Each structure stands twice: as C-alpha cells, then as structure tokens.
Amino acid sequence: MNILISGLNNYVGRRCTNLMADENFHVFAITRNRALFEKRLSEPLHAEVFEYDLLKGEVDSQINVPNLEASFYFTQVHTLDDIVNLRVELLSLRNFIHLVKRMGCNRMVYVARLMDKRALEPILNLLKEFALDYTVILKTVVLGKDCLLYNVYRSIAKKRFIFYSKQYGGNLLQPIGVYDFVRWLKAVLDVPAFRYTVLEVGGAETITAVDLYGVFRDLKLKLVSQTVVYLPHWLLNLISKKSLESDTEMADFLRGIQEESVVTNTWKKHLSFTFSSIEEILLAE
C-alpha cells in the first residue's frame, strides 16, 4: 500500500517517516523544506520525502505517488481553537486534499489532538465538501523519544522546586506510546466502521501530568533531591506568566494539559488492539 503523509512538523507525523513503513506500507511524505526536515531527524528515514508548500498549493508540482491508496494529514497548527490558526489549517488541508485527489486517492485520515474537539466542525465540513472517504482521529498525548512532554520534563528536572496546580499538572492524561499509536493508525485504515466518523483514542492507563513526571523521573532520570509543591492555580499562573511569554515549548505543553484528557476507546468493539502500560512506554526508548 502506498500512503502519503503531511504534517512532518507534528511529532507523530515526523515519527511516521521512520516507524510506519514495512513490507506492506510504502511511505511518501511532503514538507516545505526537505533539507531542514532531514537535518532535524534523529533516526533513519524510511520514507520518500517531497518538497511541497501547502500554504501555496503549487498546482504545477510534479509530485506523483503511483497507486496512492491512502493519506494521513497531521494537524499543522498548535491549536484549532483560534481563528488565525484555524484559517491556516483549513487552507493547508484544502490544498492537501487537492493534491491527493489529483493522484486519484480519496481515503484520508485526519489526526488532531483531543483538545481540538470543540473546533472540529469546519474541518469536518471541508472533508465532506470534497466527498472524501475520511476518518478523523482525536488523540490524547503521544509519548516517545524527543516528544514535547519528555523535553519539558527534562527541563524542569533541572530545578530544585517544581510547582503545579490542578489545571497545570493535576488533570488526568491517558498517554499512548508512539510505537503503539503508529501501529494503531495503520490498523484503522481498513475497518469499515471507522469510515466517515470521528474516533477518540487514548492509552491503557490514566495518570496526572505531575504523577507522570514522577514516574518519568524515577525511570529515566534517577533524581532524588527535588521537591514538588502544589499551589493554587491563580498563584502559579501569576508567578509563571512572565516566563511563559518567552518559553513557547512550555506554553504549548501547559495548553495540552489544562483539561482532562481521557476517553473510553469505544472503537474497541470494532478493532482488537492492546496499548502498552505507562511504564512500558517510558522504557521503550
């Protein structure tokens, strides 16, 4: 099966160029700047990557994937719950649809974060406008080497005191390992019940962000001299506001943990799949 991926700045999209290919999956991908993308890679590339700018929608592009059977679009923006980001996303998605349609493909899997659920209607309307054979996937946090959460955890591990609140650390997460998630994405393609629908997916266990940090610290960092302190959210927000203005990575991380991120995985009635435990995920890479 030949597949085309868009969204290589997205963590899962980038990892798919290494993890998705096998004897049955031949992976092609597009990115605005191939040289820059390959420079940032920390693992072997198992995909053929083309340069293509989705914001421009290059109609004269010579990109062609023979017998293209399916496509994966990983959201290109930090959040859909913002009018400017949403417009960028819709433009990029529209141009990607034109590209895959030109190559005779009508099957598309659109992957976004669970927190994007409330802003999904314009995306669904666009997929329906083009009469695509679509599946929309809303995922909880995906963990693996070089992911945002690991980067943030390593950063705060350098501090003597860690402060958290209910909103910034106390909400439940349902993490998925990146190896599991890529395998699950491939399995989703051929399930008839998943067509023209929205799937919510989360891992095998739930845990708060602050407790997950504790497990991460114990398994990966072996730190002993650190104190974790709970603060009222208004106070934490006050003392961290200035630093967040210059730390975009931390701001993006906090945006993703401000709400409960737990799903019931109702799709399991149509697909048998077992996700790894949190400890197995942390020890995998």
Alpha carbons 136 and 40: distance in angstroms, whole number:
28
The pLDDT, as a whole number, for residue 2 is: 97
The pLDDT, as a whole number, for residue 60 is: 63
Those residues whose C-beta lies under 8 Å from the C-beta of residue 184, and which sit 6 or more positions away, are 176, 201, 273, 275
Quick check: pTM over 0.85? yes
The pLDDT, as a whole number, for residue 223 is: 66
Domain boundary assignment for the chain: 2-139, 148-172+205-261+274-284
Alpha carbons 103 and 85: distance in angstroms, whole number:
27
Alpha carbons 223 and 158: distance in angstroms, whole number:
10
The pLDDT, as a whole number, for residue 258 is: 83
The type of residue at 213 is Y
The pLDDT, as a whole number, for residue 245 is: 67
The pLDDT, as a whole number, for residue 109 is: 98
Digitized pLDDT (tens) for each residue of the chain, 285 residues in all:
999 999 999 999 999 999 999 999 999 999 999 999 998 888 999 999 999 999 988 766 778 899 999 999 999 998 899 999 999 999 999 999 999 999 999 999 999 999 999 999 999 999 999 999 999 999 999 999 999 999 999 988 888 888 899 888 999 999 999 999 999 999 999 999 999 999 999 999 999 999 999 999 988 887 667 888 888 988 988 878 767 666 778 888 888 888 888 999 999 999 999 999 999 999 997
CB atoms within 10 A of CB 79: 17
| H helix and E strand count, the chain | 10, 13
The pLDDT, as a whole number, for residue 35 is: 92
The pLDDT, as a whole number, for residue 106 is: 97
The pLDDT, as a whole number, for residue 139 is: 97
**3-state DSSP call for residue 170?**
coil
Alpha carbons 211 and 45: distance in angstroms, whole number:
34
Q: What is the DSSP string of 6-20?
A: E-TTSHHHHHHHHHS
Alpha carbons 58 and 32: distance in angstroms, whole number:
11
Query: May I ask the CATH class of domain 2-139?
Result: alpha beta
Q: Where are the alpha helices (DSSP H) in 143-232?
A: 148-156, 178-188, 209-216
Cβ atoms 100, 4 nearer than 8 A:
yes
The pLDDT, as a whole number, for residue 263 is: 96
Structure tokens at 259: 């709400």
Those residues whose C-beta lies under 8 Å from the C-beta of residue 14, and which sit 6 or more positions away, are 8, 37, 40, 41
